[in-house]
Amino acid sequence: MNVRNTGSGSRDPERIAELAPKASDNIKNQHVVSQVLLSEFTTAVEHTTVEHVQPYDLQHPERRSKTQPPRGVGKIENFVLGASTSLETKNS
C-alpha cells in the first residue's frame, strides 16, 4: 500500500476503489500504538528475557493487568472495520 496525502480528499474515491476487493480482509486485534513506541516504555521483569509494559485499562482503572511484552498491548478489537489487514501488514 502506498501512503498518499489525500489533501482535500480528491484521491479518496480512488483509494476506496483500490481497497474494495480487500474490504472483508480484516485483522481482529489491530495495533493502535506501534510496538516500537511501546518498547520505549518497557521495563525488566523477573524470570523473562523480554522487557514488559504495564497495561492500563482506561475504562476500568481499578483493574491491574499482568505486564506483557509490547506485542501483547496497544491493540483494539476491530478498530478499523474494513481492509484492516492493509494497515497491519509491515510491507504496506
Return the minimum-mean-pLDDT range out of 4-8, 18-22, 69-73, 81-85: 4-8
The pLDDT tens digits for 27-72 are 777 778 888 888 888 889 888 888 998 888 888 889 888 888 888 8
Pick the more confident residue, 7 or 81: 81
Contact 70, 42 (CB under 8 A): yes
Produce one character per residue of 17-51: b if its CB has 16 or more CB atoms within 10 Å, e if not: eebeeeeeebbeebbeeeeeebeeebeebeeeeee
> For 51, how many CA atoms within 13 A lie in the half-sphere containing its CB?
10
Q: Which residue has the cell 475504562?
A: 59
pTM of the model: 0.49
